Each structure stands twice: as structure tokens, then as C-alpha cells.
Amino acid sequence: MHSPIVVLKFGSSVLENHDALPAAVLEIYREIRRGRRVVAVVSAFGNRTDELLSSARQLFDEPDPSSLARLLETGEAEAAATLGLALDQAGVPARILDAGQIGLTTSEDILDAEPHDFDVVRLRQELLDVPVIVVPGFSGKLKSGAPALLGRGGSDLTALFLAHGLRAAECRLLKDVDGLLQVREDGSLDYGTRYATASYDECLRVGGPLIQPKAVEFAARHNLSFRIASCGSGGGTLAGPVKSRFESVDPAPAPTTVVLGGLGTVGLGVFRWLQSLKTDFQVVGILVRNLTSPRPEDVPSHLLTDSVEKLLETQPELVIEVVGGTGAAADLVHQARAAGSRVVSANKQLLAIEPELLKETAFGNGRLMASASVGGSVPALESVASLVQREEVVLVQGILNGTCNFILDRVNGGIEVEDALALAQDLGLAEADPHLDVSGLDCVYKLSLLATRAFGEEVTVDLIECEGLDGITAERLQQATENDGELKLVASAKRTSSGIKARVGLEILLPHHPLFGCEKEANRLVIETEGHRQVVFDGKGAGRWPTTVAVVGDVLQCRRADLSTGKERGLRRAKAS
């Protein structure tokens, strides 16, 4: 069974500048968490196309269309490359493919061409290798291989054209407004009334500069539905072969109030991403260990406190715990839950050793979310949860500790464990207490959370056998090399006729093994279901940004859930009155 494909188009109004990159990465990551593969089509940043166009017109009386097309397509190429870099930093595996690589051919009208064809098989094949393909929109190739442009706003057309060819499950055009708004008689926009659904004709009538008319006409010719929405949206407008219908919306929902426990490697990353999502979140307090430690300038000192009680006096709707360990972190999580706040935590140790938290993480109702506790940017818990809804899982197996994997990578290449650990610490991969990594315990906590979710029964840490990196010997390393294999720290839990067998330990992996070739701080998870179907998930497992993407992914999911509950409540009230 192949994962569904979604085509997301990031318009210039969304990619206004580099500050918008976290929102774009999170929108893509949100789809990966849902088990989908993503084609991300990008427009140029902000006014880049206009700037390039006007500079060409200022410099040259009649710019030659072919050279102009080459100049203008650099805007989309820059945006695609930059988004690719942002995804890589966040640990989300992605590949950039331009029009030439996907064989996107067009008619011969250089500045306003029609797309003709693309290599569907190649794009589908690439999506089996990596979950995200980034495509610069707007341009295609003439028969000669020279560039041609799809007209102003042409990235919308690129997205719909690819979605149609790929038979994508969804195509979402991401804009700076959450859907098509009602236009009042005087021509102004009513921000409180949006089209829930819009016919093609209505899109053409009121879509104005928001959607390229040529793209809507393409969709209409092919009976293709698509959404117009903002990043993080729960809906937006569904356009297609439908009758137009309005719905009331809250034009400016209040930001969710958030407190942040911990301002270390991960905490600072989370703080900065929340600051870039200011219309959605307001950070009202930050818990730190030492108030007098030096801090970056962008952290307002009035938000800092070293007291859990003071932090929670702000009555936040959401508490993020990235303190780590079982001291202050436990106080914060318990008090926050007692006060009725939603909690997002990255703390595998705390969640695995407290039975109530273990159960809630595995089977809870979303009031305690912990995606970042296992796998970093690999949506490990979500993937297991969604698989077990359909099939019985018989084995979960993975490389789940980025630090140990990084160390073993170096050790397999002849470097000492201590030196490699020091490097991993410098890179912000290791735990504050690195013994948790090298002893294998960090993996034990993660396996406990994963296996509990996978098998529907508590796999507590005392049931998991554990071997750490002190099991590395010259003989084992030599044996691995002689067999073209590699020594790795593997976590696995298997359902057997005598119960769940769970183990963390060193194993020699040979090249045919699904976990073979997992490099540096990468994590990989293999889930096997009854019938021997194997599903593999990859991503970066440790470090500031891969953990941040998972934490903020949870935070955004909480906000969407709260907003949609609020909306339902509003609708129920409206019906009752």
C-alpha cells in the first residue's frame, strides 16, 4: 500500500521572507506525520519576481523573452533551494527536483506557456525514496530544453498540474489568508465570512490576485478539487465541482498562551519558532534553572522564572516541557496536568518511567503529547499509532539514539568513543547526562513508549534488556568490517508466542538489513506488520531543530484541536439559539 500524496503550494504571500520558513517546514512535517508524501511547489520569496522583472525592464528596452524567463525562474529556484536547506536542518528528508529533472514540458509561448507533460513515474519513484520533493513552480521546459514560464501566478498551475498527473489525494494552495473571503458590494473583503466551498466560476469571479485564473481553468477542465488555505489551517476553502457556500469564521482568533519549561538546546529552538508564529502563540513564561545565566538578546528577561508555581500562575493554555530529567520536569508536568493545561513534552525518561504517563502518552486523548520523545523528526509514535489502527504490528525495530549512532559511525571509522561523544556533545545531540545515551537507557525509554503503543500493552523499562556502547570490542568491530557490515545500537520489540521480547543492544548489521546505512545522528524506524509488510521511516533523531520540529508540530496540533472544538461549540450555540 502506497502512502497518499499531497501537493502543497507555498505562494509568495506565505514565503514572504526567510522568517516564514519554519511555518512552511511545519506544514510539510504535518503531512508527513499524517503518513502522507509531499510535493512542495514553491513560488519566489515575497516580491522577488517583480524585482527581477522591473530591474530587467529598467536595464533593457525590450528584454528577450528567453533570457527573461531564465532570469525570472531564478526566484523560484532560490526559494526551492532555501526550503530544501530548511527541511534538511529540521531533519526532514527532502530532495529538490526542477522542471528539467521532472520532465515538465510546455507549449512554446515562452512567458505564458501551457504545461504539457511531466515524468509521473520518476516523481512517484522519487517519492518512494524520500517523503518530500520540493519543486520550483512557475517554470517548465520547451522542446529545446530552454525555460518557459507558466504566466504570472504560474506556481498555482504547476501545483494543480502535478497534483492531477500524480492523482494526489489533495492539492492545497497555501496563501496568507485562510481561504477565499466574501467580497462585499463595495468591493472590500469580509474577513468574518469565507467560502467553505467555491465553484470554479466563483473562484474566477472573486479569486482575483489570490489564485491564477489559468490554474482555475485547468482545474475546471479536469474536474480537479483543491483547497485554498493558510499554513496551519484546519480547513480553508474547498474549490471544485461544488456549489458555493459561505461559513462564518473568527477573523482573528486569539493566540494560544504558552509557557516553556527549559531554555537549553531544544528550548531555545522552540522559543524562536514560536516567536515566528506570533499570530498563533504567545509565550507568557519560561522556566529556567538559573536566572542569572547569560541569555541570547532575543529572550525577554521578564518572561523568565525559576519557579514552577510562578510559571503556572500565568494560567497558560499549553505547557511545553523540554527541561529533561525527572526533577523540575516532573513537577511541571504534574502541576500543569492538575491545572488542566495541555502538555507537550519531549521527555522520554519521565514518560517511560511513570506508569500513568506511559499509558497516557501511548493511548491518551491528546492532552499529553510527546512526539519529540521518540525519533526527533521521525514521527515514530504517530506512525505506529496510525498503523495499529489498520493492522497488527509484530515487530518494531529501530536506531533510536542519534548520539550513539553518531558515535558508532565514527567508531566504525576508527575514532575513539570518548572523542566521538565529545563531538556529539558539541553538536547538541547528547543528553545533559550523556551516560543516558551511551548506556542504552535513552533507547530503552524510547522503546518502552513505542512498544507500548505498538502492542497495546505496557512494555515497561524493566522488561527491556539493555546493552550500551561499553559492549563495543575490537573483535566485534573487526567482525563487522570483515562482513561488510556495521556495528549499531538497535532497539527492537517483538511479539512472540510467549509475550513481548524487547531489547536494546549492539548488533552487526549486514547490507541487506533495513536498518543498514543509517548515518550520523539519523534515526530509522522499521515496523513490521502481520503478513511481513515492512514500513520504514527516516529522519534526524537528535539536535535542536529536529526536536523543535516535533515539539512545535505537537503544539500546532493542540491549537488546531482547540480551535476546532471552539468552532463546534460556537456552531452548537448558534443552532441552539
Considering the complex, what minimum distance in angstroms separates the CB of residue 389 from ligand HSE? 25
Considering the complex, what minimum distance in angstroms separates the CB of residue 485 from ligand HSE? 22
Distance of CA 551 to the CA centre of its chain: 10
* 140 versus 402: smaller Cβ distance to ligand HSE: 402
Which cell numbers hold the place of 544? 535542536
Considering the complex, what minimum distance in angstroms separates the CB of residue 269 from ligand HSE? 13
Q: 523: part of which helix (H) or strand (E)?
A: strand 522-529
Considering the complex, what minimum distance in angstroms separates the CB of residue 346 from ligand HSE? 7
Considering the complex, what minimum distance in angstroms separates the CB of residue 21 from ligand HSE? 22
Considering the complex, what minimum distance in angstroms separates the CB of residue 424 from ligand HSE? 7
* 368 versus 430: smaller Cβ distance to ligand HSE: 430
Is-contact 106 115, C-beta < 8 A? yes
Task: Write the interaction track for ligand HSE spanning residues 525-554; mark x where CB under 6 A is met and - where it is not.
Answer: ----------------xx------------
The residues near 209 (Cβ < 8 Å, ≥ 6 apart) are: 153
Is-contact 38 31, C-beta < 8 A? yes
Is-contact 500 511, C-beta < 8 A? no
SS3 53: helix
Considering the complex, what minimum distance in angstroms separates the CB of residue 406 from ligand HSE? 7
* 155 versus 401: smaller Cβ distance to ligand HSE: 401
* 92 versus 224: smaller Cβ distance to ligand HSE: 92
Phi-psi region at 440: left, alpha or beta (left = phi > 0; alpha = psi -120 to 50): left
What is the distance between the alpha carbons of residues 457 and 524, in angstroms, rounded to a whole number? 23
Q: What is the DSSP letter of 114?
A: P
Q: Which residues pair with 320 in a beta bridge?
A: 260, 344
Q: List phi, psi (to 5°) of 110.
A: -60, -40
* 446 versus 503: smaller Cβ distance to ligand HSE: 446
Rule CB under 6 A: say whether 232 interacts with ligand HSE.
Answer: no
The residues near 9 (Cβ < 8 Å, ≥ 6 apart) are: 40, 41, 42, 43, 137, 155, 156, 158, 159, 171, 172, 173, 174
Which cell numbers hold the place of 30? 504535518
Q: 95: part of which helix (H) or strand (E)?
A: strand 94-96
Is-contact 173 226, C-beta < 8 A? yes
The residues near 25 (Cβ < 8 Å, ≥ 6 apart) are: 83, 86, 87, 90, 92, 549
* 40 versus 515: smaller Cβ distance to ligand HSE: 515
* 214 versus 524: smaller Cβ distance to ligand HSE: 524
Count the Cβ atoms, other than its own, within 10 Å of residue 184: 10
Task: Write the interaction track for ligand HSE spanning residues 162-181; mark x where CB under 6 A is met and - where it is not.
Answer: --------------------
Q: Which residues pair with 237 in a beta bridge?
A: 228
Q: 281-320: which residues touch ligand HSE (CB under 6 A)? A: none
Q: 371-410: which residues touch ligand HSE (CB under 6 A)? A: 376, 401-403
Task: Write the interaction track for ligand HSE spanning residues 410-449; mark x where CB under 6 A is met and - where it is not.
Answer: -------------------xxx-----x----x-------
Considering the complex, what minimum distance in angstroms separates the CB of residue 376 from ligand HSE? 6
The residues near 206 (Cβ < 8 Å, ≥ 6 apart) are: 180, 182, 183, 195, 198
Per rule CB under 6 A, count of chain residues that contact ligand HSE: 11
Please identify every residue annotated as catalytic: 446
SS3 104: coil
Q: List phi, psi (to 5°) of 169.
A: -70, -30
* 71 versus 461: smaller Cβ distance to ligand HSE: 461
* 131 versus 541: smaller Cβ distance to ligand HSE: 541
Considering the complex, what minimum distance in angstroms separates the CB of residue 80 from ligand HSE? 29
Is-contact 22 276, C-beta < 8 A? yes
Amino acid at 125: Q
Query: Under the rule (CB under 6 A), what is the footprint of ligand HSE?
Result: 376, 401-403, 429-431, 437, 442, 541-542
